[in-house]
Amino acid sequence: MKAARFLALAAALLCGSAAAATAPADSPTLREVLKRGELRVGLEAGYMPFEMVDKGGEIIGFDIDLARLMARKLGVRLQVVNQGWDGIIPALLTGKFDVTLGGMTITPERAKSVDFTDPYLTIGQTVLLARKLAGTVRHHQQLNDPKYRVLSKLGTTGEIAMRKHFPRAQMRTFEHQAEAAIEVRNGRADAFVYDLPFNLVMAAQFPDGLVHLQEPFTREDLGWAVRKNDPALRAWLNEFLAGLKQDGTYQALYKKWFESSAWLPNVI
């Protein structure tokens, strides 16, 4: 990368300058955010590399960097609310936070309760295999067999994909994705179905026990969720996201968290 280009991206990351957008007066949520001087963002820490707790106890990740830029653009403080995934939409609806980040897949069912922004990332479901099955299972379809123990996280699109694609397997869900992946690594299960970014990280972290079937067998758009009846907030967030993509800030953050593992030693 040329020096001038690098300096421009660094300036954008620090200032968020090219993502300029003013808070519309007709958004009740943004009026409240500006009044209290704080943007509250809900997510569940533990979804690498979107958000996770580092060795110092701080929540870091792709979504955290985006949230910081979001708050900075509004000129307010950022408060990150660490919320269990199964209660994240109810917590949003009751006003515990203003917007949900955290890699939420846009689905028709969820859209009945919340409004979504434009997609900020597209991913898919993949499979983490126990290393003992390397060479035996070469495609996800082979796991649809009663002899295999397949896991996923409760209440996620990974669980939906597991039940749809592997109905004949022995299926089990976990509250936390890392616990399920470790079950596979330790040989107590055969496969884990979950989002591509998380599985990439886990496979890189534990090559001794995990093999990653990297070809996604679903396609999922991820979005930020907000309460209904606030189209001005959704429009502001879409404009903010478009600005980050236009000036290269988004691409720099993507490279930092998804194309590099420099951050990994800080969380393991």
For residue 151, the surrounding DSSP H or E stretch is strand 149-153
Question: What's the CATH number of domain 125-213, 3.30.420.40, 2.30.290.10, 3.10.20.30, 3.40.190.10?
Answer: 3.40.190.10
The closest alpha carbon to 227, from 64, 90, 44, belongs to 90
CATH architecture of the domain with residue range 3-122+221-266: 3-Layer(aba) Sandwich (3.40)
Distance in angstroms (rounded) separating the CA atoms of residues 43 and 99:
9
Kindly indicate the confidence band of residue 152, based on its pLDDT and cuts at 50, 70 and 90. very high
Every domain range in the chain assigned CATH 3.40.190.10 = 3-122+221-266, 125-213
Q: Is the confidence at residue 13, as pLDDT, over 70?
A: no
Distance in angstroms (rounded) separating the CA atoms of residues 15 and 251:
15
Which pLDDT value is given to residue 177? 92
Q: Is the confidence at residue 14, as pLDDT, over 50?
A: no
Q: Is the confidence at residue 256, as pLDDT, over 70?
A: yes
> What 8-state DSSP symbol labels residue 41?
E
Q: Is 252 exposed, middle or buried (0-12, 13-18, 19+ CB in 10 A)?
A: buried
In tens, the pLDDT along 81-101 reads 999 998 999 999 999 999 999
Cβ pair 173, 250 in contact under 8 A: no
Q: Is the confidence at residue 18, as pLDDT, over 50?
A: no
Which pLDDT value is given to residue 25? 65
Q: Is the confidence at residue 2, as pLDDT, over 90?
A: no
Which pLDDT value is given to residue 22? 57
Q: Over the chain, what is the mean pLDDT?
A: 90
Q: Is the pTM of this model over 0.75?
A: yes
The greatest distance separating any two alpha carbons of the chain, rounded to the nearest whole angstrom, comes to 59
